[in-house]
Structure 1
């Protein structure tokens, strides 16, 4: 049985591990204790692109708008404004989906299932979300602010 720490035959580059030696496990110079690097501001074209993608991402859910707002809010004024607007709209839609599902569930119980048809309104809400998200995308792509016709202004 051979010792796993023994030098392999013919390997002149092998070095013994320095467990317990001073400096073992420490970060090299320029490690995590250095000053953080601030990201550069977005160019006008990038600002428009991320702002428009924040609106278009609303077709999927509120997460794309949230991520874009959190990552780019300090780098572009237009992206900050438009991503907040898109996020407010997506949160409003989410509240609407929850309300429709709760009301539909309660009506289904009370009316022995007939009230469950109320859930069809969720499709209308989804369709409105897709249409308004595309409209926001087209406006933001051209550099114009877009205001959704209905949205709770939770983020100012």
Structure 2
């Protein structure tokens, strides 16, 4: 059951594509509710939250840099990573692995 919830936690960021801010709220709620019930969920929650905060930072930097064209490439890269990383994280979590997203700043340790 821990692996299932860890996978759901990683994939819950996609809720933001359906309902604004749900991609931020859903992972936080799942993490806070399940971390005391299931061992191993805490680390996955921290990984996902670190990625969300890092992604927000990269998008802001990309928007600022888009004034000098370079930012467009930053935004494209951030968009691709925003899709690929949660999928890979979800698959690895379902396999019982802990995968730290590349380019993710560790705000929570």
1:68 to 30, 48, 51: 30
Q: Once the two structures are superposed, what CA deviation does each residue of 1:64-91 show, in whole Å capped at 9, x if it has no partner?
A: 2212112212111211111111111111
Higher Cα radius of gyration: 1
Q: Secondary structure at the match of 1:62?
A: helix
Gaps of 5+ in 1: 1-44, 108-114
Indicate how the Cα distance of structure 1 residues 120 and 149 shifts in structure 2: closer, same or farther if over 3 A, else same: closer
Q: 1:58 touches 1:130 (CA, 8 Å); kept in 2?
A: no
**Secondary structure at the counterpart of residue 118 of structure 1:** helix
Q: CA RMSD in A?
A: 1.8
TM-score by length of 1: 0.58
* Other-structure match for 2:46: 84
1:85–1:148 Cα contact (<8 Å) kept: yes
Q: Contact 1:51 / 1:80 at 8 angstroms: preserved in 2?
A: no
Partner Cα separation in structure 2 for residue 142 and residue 94 of structure 1: 28
Q: TM-score, normalised by structure 2?
A: 0.80
**Alignment partner, residue 123 of structure 1:** 76
Query: Larger relative CO (CA 8 A, sep 6+): 1 or 2?
Result: 2
Separation in 2 of the partners of 1:72 and 1:102?
Answer: 37
- What corresponds to 2:107 in structure 1? 154
Question: Larger helix proportion, structure 1 or 2?
Answer: 2
Q: Which runs of 5+ in 2 are unaligned?
A: 17-22
Q: Does the residue aligned with 1:89 lie in a helix, a strand or coil?
A: helix
